[in-house]
Chain A
Amino acid sequence: MAQYLLKRLGMTLAVVLLVLLFLAVVPHVIPGDPVENILGPRATEARIEQVRVEMGIDDPIVTQIGSFMWNALQGDLGRDFATNRPVTAMLAQALPHTVALAFASLGLAVLLGIPFGVLAATKPDSMLDRFTSVVSVSFITVPSYVMALFLLLLFPIWLGVLPATGTGSLSEPLSYLRHLILPASALAITWVGYFARLVRASMLEVVGSNYIRVARAYGLRERVIHYRYALKNAVIPSVAILGVSLGQLLGGAVFIELIFNRPGLGKLALDAIAARNYPVLRGSVLMVALLFVTANLVADLSYRFLDPRIRVEEKAT
Chain B
Amino acid sequence: MRATRTSEVGRRRQRGGRILASLLALMLVVAACAPDDAEDLAVDDPEAVDEAPDEEAPDAPPTPDATELRIRTVMDITSLDPAVMPSTTDDAVAMNVLEGLVAYEPGGSGQLINVLAEEIEVSDDGLRVEFTLREGVQFHGGYGELTAEDVKYSFERTAGLIETAVATSYASDWATLEEVEVTGTYTGTIHLSAPFAPLMINTLPGNAGLIVPEAAAEELGEDFGTNPIGTGPYEFVEWNPGQEIVVERFGDYHGGMWEHLPEPQWERIVFVPIEDAAAADIAIETGAVDMGQISTGSVGRFEADPDFIVDPLATFDYGWIGMNVQDEILSDVNVRRAIRQALDIDSMIAAGFDGQVARAHALISPEMPIGYWEEAPVYQPDFEAARAHLDEAGVDELDLTIIIDEQVGSREIAEIAQANLAEIGINLQIDLLDGGEYREIARDAQQQLFYISFSNTADPSWATVWFSCEQVGDWNYQHWCNEEFQELHEAALVETDPDERHDMYIRMQEIMDEDAIAAWVMYRTNLYTYPADMQISLVPERYGKYLAYNFLR
Chain A residues proximal to chain B, CB less than 8 Å: 30-34, 36-44, 46-47, 49-50, 82-85, 90, 93-94, 143, 145-146, 149, 152-153, 156-160, 163-167, 254-255, 258-261, 263, 267-268, 270-271, 274, 276
Interface centre among B54, B167, B272, B440 (most CB of A within 10 A): B167
Contacts A42-B172, A149-B27, A263-B241 known; A47 to B167 CB distance under 8 Å? Answer: yes
Chain B 466-477 near chain A by CB (<8 Å), digits 1 or 0: 100000001100
Chain A residues whose CB sits within 8 angstroms of the CB of B288 once the complex forms: 163-166
Chain B residues whose CB sits within 8 angstroms of the CB of A163 once the complex forms: 288
Chain B residues proximal to chain A, CB less than 8 Å: 16, 19-20, 23, 26-27, 30-31, 35-37, 54, 56-58, 76-79, 84, 86, 160, 166-172, 222-223, 225-226, 240-244, 272, 274-276, 279, 282-283, 285-286, 288, 434-440, 454, 466, 474-475
Contacts A263-B241, A274-B36 known; A31 to B440 CB distance under 8 Å? Answer: yes
Q: How far is the CA of A37 from the CA of B437 in the complex (A)?
A: 9
Cβ–Cβ contact A32 & B434, under 8 A: yes
Cβ–Cβ contact B435 & A31, under 8 A: no
Question: Could you write out 13 A-B pairs with CB less than 8 Å apart?
Answer: A32-B438, A32-B440, A33-B436, A37-B439, A50-B167, A82-B86, A83-B79, A85-B241, A94-B241, A149-B26, A157-B19, A261-B275, A276-B436
Chain A residues whose CB sits within 8 angstroms of the CB of B244 once the complex forms: 166
Cβ–Cβ contact A31 & B437, under 8 A: yes
Q: How far is the CA of A85 from the CA of B227 in the complex (A)?
A: 12
The smallest beta-carbon distance between B79 and chain A, in angstroms, is 6
Using A44-B160, A255-B35 as known contacts, list a sample of 5 further A-B pairs with CB atoms less than 8 Å apart, ordered by residue number in A: A32-B436, A42-B170, A82-B78, A165-B283, A274-B36
Going nearest first, the 7 A-B pairs with the smallest beta carbon separation are: A32-B436, A263-B242, A160-B58, A47-B167, A46-B167, A145-B30, A82-B78
Cβ–Cβ contact A156 & B242, under 8 A: no
Residue of B nearest to A41 (CB): B475
Chain A residues whose CB sits within 8 angstroms of the CB of B466 once the complex forms: 41
Residue of B nearest to A143 (CB): B31
Cβ–Cβ contact B282 & A164, under 8 A: yes
Residue of B nearest to A93 (CB): B241
Chain A residues whose CB sits within 8 angstroms of the CB of B37 once the complex forms: 274
Residue of A nearest to B471 (CB): A41
Q: How far is the CA of A85 from the CA of B240 in the complex (A)?
A: 12
Cβ–Cβ contact B279 & A165, under 8 A: yes
Chain B residues whose CB sits within 8 angstroms of the CB of A32 once the complex forms: 434-440
Cβ–Cβ contact B241 & A152, under 8 A: no
Chain B residues whose CB sits within 8 angstroms of the CB of A50 once the complex forms: 166-167
Chain B residues whose CB sits within 8 angstroms of the CB of A268 once the complex forms: 242
Chain B residues whose CB sits within 8 angstroms of the CB of A149 once the complex forms: 23, 26-27
The smallest beta-carbon distance between A45 and chain B, in angstroms, is 9
Cβ–Cβ contact B226 & A84, under 8 A: yes
Contacts A160-B58, A163-B288, A165-B282 known; A84 to B225 CB distance under 8 Å? Answer: yes
